[in-house]
Amino acid sequence: MKGKNSKIWIAIGLLIVIAILFFWIKNDTSFYTSKTDSEYVSVEVPADESCLQCHVNTKGYSKYHNPDLIGCTSCHLGDETTMNKEDSHKGIVLIPGNLADATETCGKCHPNELKKIESSLMTTNSGLVAVDKFVFGEADSPDYHYHISEIQNSASDKHLRDLCANCHLGAEKTEFGEITQLSRGGGCNACHLNYDEASKNDLNNYLTSNKKELPLAHPATNIFVNDNHCFGCHSRSSRISTNYEGWQETLLDEADILG
């Protein structure tokens, strides 16, 4: 009986030790994360950015992209220390998130995600290039690795440039506005840029006023990816997006389909 009781007390002691370790690990994030391995990396926000002195009372930001937390220059760069418009706008990135500037913008907080995206098939289009070159007889196997940005002027390269090259994530988004079926590339924007009605209306007023009426509503950058984002690149070629929604091409009239 005495041996049985001692085993019970040993088991209870082990459970207590395990519970203590569990709560310690759970609350001490340094135990399992570091600045380079964590999902997000914090940025230093200047105490008094000049940006919001002109772009005052702006709204629409997603929770974790609010200027109160990350400032404006974390995404748009520029010089936040001066009140002079020309000086403050030097080096500014009006549409951050393209892969060309992602290292200095989105990638500062999301380095691991950027690393994955830069080597992803949506960016490299490696499979498309490989198969095209194989079919055109320019490669002896469809298993080589390529990057769409490195295509030259061969027959398969010209074919790719006409059909696919504009849609890889590295293609630059150069115009303001939401992601639509006509969008191409855009890096992080391609999936994570969201305009609501207020931000769309304010953007229209800004453009029609010759950029004199500054928008109050800012588009959000968040994790809410909807079908429209996918349609930006996947509504052509194999038509993955349209097939996903059950759409198909037909020679029938609308009345024949509905009737």
Whole-angstrom Cα distance, residue 4 to residue 8?
6
Outline where the chain has alpha helix (H): 2-27, 51-54, 67-70, 73-76, 85-88, 106-109, 111-118, 121-124, 126-135, 155-163, 189-192, 197-208, 227-234, 240-244, 254-258
Diameter of the chain measured on Cα atoms: 90
Q: What is the pLDDT along the chain (259 residues), one digit of tens a residue?
A: 555 566 677 767 777 767 776 666 555 544 333 444 456 666 666 667 889 888 888 999 998 899 988 999 999 999 999 999 999 999 999 999 999 999 999 999 999 999 999 999 999 999 999 999 999 999 999 999 999 999 999 999 999 988 778 778 898 999 999 998 888 889 999 999 999 999 999 999 999 999 999 999 999 999 999 888 888 788 766 667 777 777 777 777 877 767 6
End-to-end CA gap in the chain: 84
Q: What is the CA radius of gyration of the chain?
A: 26
Residue from 176, 32, 157 nearest 98 by CA = 176
